[in-house]
Chains A and B, each alone.
Chain A
Amino acid sequence: MAIKVNRRMMSAIFLVGISCGLVVTAQVSAVQELLAEYGREGAGKYNAVNGEKLWKRVQVDAKTGQKRSCVTCHTNDLRKPGKHARTGKLIKPMAPSVNADRLTDKKKIEKWFHRNCKWTLGRICTPQEKADILAYLANQ
């Protein structure tokens, strides 16, 4: 049976194509803009390998003595959902390749960097650290 491609279908395909393109563009632009900003704030060339090391580095929390790393909540596989260490809340996958919403909103990225660096490392991250982690995550 031949599939009739009518005008409505054509426009639907067109719209889907446009939105996929927009998401990818948003992601690229948010990451690019932030990397540029971190550069202006003093970060050197970003390094995804350093980003991965930092992501997996285990830190002992001064107050509780707990071992913490990004992996604690996000798990070792960025394509899989994670779990909030304290509340058990499901965390959607971090990898943009399986979760297109990731790394599309500059303000959100900054909020989570601030929040989670403080919890994991006990301090905010430097522009260099943020640039490296962003470079690492963007490729996932």
Chain B
Amino acid sequence: MQKTRLPAVISTFIVCYAFWLLLTWSVQVQELAVGAVVSLAVALFSARFFIHEKAFWLFNPVKLVNALAFWLCIFPVEMVKANLDVAKRCFGGCKNVNPGIVKVPVDLKSDYGQAALANAITLTPGTITMEIAEEEGQTYYYIHWIDVTKPSGQEAGDAIKGRLEKGLRRVWE
């Protein structure tokens, strides 16, 4: 367990306070003051879980733009395509499935990047990340895939997460 560091607390505090402002949506002094106290308490307790690497990575404008581009452009396109595919299978009687668990290599290095990629894969209907494993310096995901068309390895990886990984690499590396 790592220690609580001041930059991590400040960073967490900013995120919590922004969240509070959005939820309450008022600028009365009381609300602002209570929000600050609560955010500070939460930040003190949770900073060490929330921030692991550089504390202010979230506030770097280039990365922020890349992150927005990923979550608002690249990811929704992939998600809609996969949604249409799975919806077609559902309405087509649910017999047209060929499930399996494949193992694909992943090149992202940072913890956040790997977690974000795993979440993006799980959010795409038709694929669920089941485990992240590391073997000899290379990270592997075990992914349950509803329609296995390619054997495990690089090809299956490209089919499942090729574009997602490219987009995320610009955010975290």
A and B co-occur in one complex: no
